[in-house]
Each structure stands twice: as structure tokens, then as C-alpha cells.
Amino acid sequence: MTKITPFLWFDKQAEEAARFYVSLFKNSRIVSATPLVVNFELNGQSFAALNGGPSFNFTEAVSFVINCESQQEIDDYWAKLTAGGGQPSMCGWLKDKYGLSWQVVPANIGQLLQQADPEKAKRVTGALMKMQKINVNDLVAAAR
């Protein structure tokens, strides 16, 4: 079985970041930590974090999606990931305090955006484009 592990390059705060991420998600843990590499799991998904120095930075070209079951879950992840210097963006995207991009979205975002009625889909998309943190009720209302 092939396993793909995201490998994240940090300047020098790999363990700090890994501990932060582990604190946010259920069923998460630090697997191992050395001064150079930290291996951790977020809800069973393996990650590695490297203290590689300042040569590379994260960009929005790579992000992690959190599919949320409720508005409360969206609100909680949004607050925790933008705390301490994180930056909100548009359409449910944000950067955390380490510069890593996340998408905090409702689990049914695909259904909301892919309405059979093109006018409904257009309204939902229009509503989404105006949001930073996603408001599920507003998207559902736009679909009506």
C-alpha cells in the first residue's frame, strides 16, 4: 500500500506547529520528534514537519481542507486557526500563524455549489464569493 504524507517545511518552528495542529484535531498525536523532523498525525493522516530554515515559504498553491459538519465547527476551527497572527482570506480560506493555508468549509459545500438549477448555483457562488468565514445559513438561503 502506498501512503502519501504531506511534508511541511518550516523555518525553525516545526515541533511548535505540529503541537498546535495536534491540539486542534481529534485522534491526533505527535509520533516522533527530533530537532530536524517531527512526524505527527491529524485524525489519522500522517504529516511530517521539517525545520529546514527560511529558504521556502508556504503559499496558497497548497492548502488543507477541513470539511465541517456544522456552523459551530466552522466557527471553532476558524477562530483557532486565525488566532495568534493567522489571516482570514475569502471563501473560507485562511492562513494560520505559520503561514499554512486552510479551507474551512461545510461538508456539503459541493452540493451547495453544484445545484441542478444554474440560477441557484449562481446565487450560492455569489454569496460565497462575498464571505471570508463561511456562513452555512447564508449559502442555504441563497440556494432557495
State the DSSP H helix or E strand holding residue 18, giving kind and residue range, or none if neither: helix 14-24
Please state, as a whole number, how many other Cβ atoms lie within 10 Å of the Cβ of residue 112: 21
Rounded Cα distance between 106 and 92, Å, is 9
Kindly report the pTM of this predicted structure.
0.92
69-78 per-position pLDDT tens digit = 999 999 999 9
pLDDT at 143: 87
- Using pLDDT thresholds of 50, 70 and 90, give the confidence band for residue 1: very low
Whether pLDDT at 6 is above 50: yes
- Using pLDDT thresholds of 50, 70 and 90, give the confidence band for residue 116: confident
Rounded Cα distance between 50 and 21, Å, is 14
First to last CA, the chain: 44
Mean pLDDT of the chain: 95
Domains and CATH numbers, the chain: 1-55 (3.10.180.10), 58-144 (3.10.180.10)
User: For residue 68, which phi and psi values (nearest 5 degrees)?
Assistant: -105, 145
Nearest Cα neighbor of 21 from 51, 3, 48 is: 48
